[in-house]
Chains A and B, each alone.
Chain A
């Protein structure tokens, strides 16, 4: 009896999570301007998407920002994660992790005020800086958790057997934490490419990313074109999450 209940409630939760997404996917193939009833199958909205210059530009921006931000935050986050593991500091881990818990809207507002205060013109550059800032913490956590699962004497053994500190890091530590680094990078990429709130505050005028573009379109109406781009974005994110969970099980954490 209780087992049946478990299966049913589990199914209900998954349905609640995925049904809205599936509806978006379905309507992206619907041959109708309205998200109301199923008319017939079409590729029309995807073709429309390919001709939409502002949409393509926004997608290009998003990709560029996500790639740069995930690369930079992976380098910085790996260094931070290594430092947190190596030096066992008390306050620093908290300071690295706190921004993950602070409401995004606060982060967005404070970044906006900060950029204005230091006279930085808002645009793609400020979006990139903001994304790097909020991704570093995630990478650091993933890398540190990977490091803390590592036998500490491995690094010493490498030194003992004739490796300089740098050789020991490159030949022993780095290959062992590589799955954590890859998972951190993928996580940073997915967080960056679909971020809305922080991007909204730091974008200024003119610069647009995919989430911002979609938002500006649905202000008028949810067109099937939005459904199409959402479906593509969903696919990309889903793919990266699957890769991340394969590379480093247990290191993928949602926000």
Chain B
């Protein structure tokens, strides 16, 4: 049985439907992420799981027990808020002791567990400080410690890294992964940052307009997006209008206006169907002269523009009659390919199974 079972949950605010019939089941020990742009319903869904809001229809069950009728303070679920929501009038130790006091844990045990918890987050010497005397990263760790000290069944994290600067964010990502592995508590993580979602999660639910667009493992989401929205939202992606002219087993042939015929992986489409070819820039080979390999699509084009990013350079290559394809080359030191300039003629090539056809 899944730890958390959500079925057909709907939440409307007046005319606006924030969560529109969402279903998902989250397993014990999972690091599960709700990913989507702002206003996609992910925060509303999280608030309903925490108990600050309730759905108009649908079911939510934790360990098979109905969750909707239980007030937030009775749910074995704790939240790490985006603002951390540390109580400013309590010390760090008092903040961490708060959930234990609410559960009427004996005083002696509270003291022991708070000091263990401070140890765990490397803040043993900061127990007597007030939250405003801590750095952003330290506050973040206190918020985590406070939410975990009661050993909840489920931990909800609402964009917990959004307020940190980039270096610290990367470091905290690793800490979160390790922490979750160590304590085995199920995490539901809300973010609009696709990199965060891809690095942290066991599974991701990509949300848009109150619905789940795709629910899958990170590599599946990235490599086989189900539709145009997911392809465009996760990473960068070339999206080209295409029509199926032949489909046979593994392979299909697409007709792209202004470019010609292109081979792609067949998701089970039928001849005549129109849709989009999604192609990740890093799966495209690029060079002055490329020898075509088996099963590759091969085009000659011209560099229109390029973006130097430090580790890689992104090239916008014009092929056929005005079609623009983004491709990238690493700026590696060994055998470093020369950086092409605008106007340089180049070859691009990609294996047929690098591109996926989306009929939506």
A contact residues vs B (CB 8 Å cutoff):
151, 153-154, 156-164, 167, 171-172, 175-176
Contacts and interface: CB of A to CB of B under 8 A. Distances in A.
B88 A176 contact: yes
Interface of B: 50-52, 71-73, 77-79, 81-83, 85, 87-89, 98-99, 102-103, 146-147, 150
Contacts of A172: 87
B98 A153 contact: no
Contacts, number: 58
A160 B79 contact: yes
B89 A175 contact: yes
A165 to B, nearest CB: 8
Contacts of A160: 50-52, 72-73, 77-79
Nearest to B52: A156
Given A161-B146, A162-B150, 6 more contacts: A153-B83, A156-B79, A158-B87, A158-B98, A160-B79, A163-B73
Contacts of B72: 156, 159-160
A241 B146 CA distance: 40
Nearest to A155: B85
B78 A153 contact: no
A175 B90 CA distance: 10
5 contacts: A153-B82, A156-B79, A157-B85, A161-B78, A162-B73
A172 B102 CA distance: 13
A76 B89 CA distance: 25
Contact of B150 (A158, A161, A175): A161
Contacts of B150: 161-162
Contacts of B85: 151, 153-154, 156-157
Contacts of B50: 156, 160
A100 B82 CA distance: 39
A159 B81 CA distance: 13
Nearest to B77: A160
Nearest to B87: A172
B52 A163 contact: no
A176 B72 CA distance: 22
Nearest to B82: A153
Contact of B73 (A151, A153, A159, A171): A159
Nearest to B100: A162
Contacts of A158: 87, 98
Contacts of A171: 98
Nearest to B47: A156
B79 A176 contact: no
Tell which of A153, A154, A157, A161 has the most Cβ of chain B within 10 Å.
A161
Nearest to A178: B89
Contacts of A151: 83, 85
Tell which of B50, B102, B146 has the most Cβ of chain A within 10 Å.
B102
Nearest to A172: B87
Contacts of A161: 73, 78, 98-99, 102, 146-147, 150
Nearest to B75: A160
Given A154-B87, A157-B85, A172-B87, A162 B79 contact: no
A153 B89 contact: no
Given A156-B52, A176-B88, A162 B99 contact: yes
A154 B98 CA distance: 12
A154 B84 CA distance: 9
Contact of A176 (B52, B78, B83, B89): B89
B86 to A, nearest CB: 8
Nearest to B102: A162
Nearest to A159: B72
Contacts of B81: 153, 156-157
Contacts of A162: 73, 99, 102-103, 150
Contact of A164 (B73, B87, B98, B147): B73
Contacts of B102: 161-163, 167
A178 B15 CA distance: 39
Given A151-B83, A167-B102, A159 B89 contact: no
B211 to A, nearest CB: 26
A161 B52 CA distance: 12
A162 B146 CA distance: 12
B52 A159 contact: yes
Contacts of A156: 50, 52, 72, 79, 81, 85
B79 A157 contact: yes
A183 B10 CA distance: 45
B19 to A, nearest CB: 18
A208 to B, nearest CB: 44
3 smallest beta-carbon distances between A and B, as pairs:
A162-B102, A157-B85, A161-B99
A157 B95 CA distance: 11
A55 B43 CA distance: 64
B219 to A, nearest CB: 33
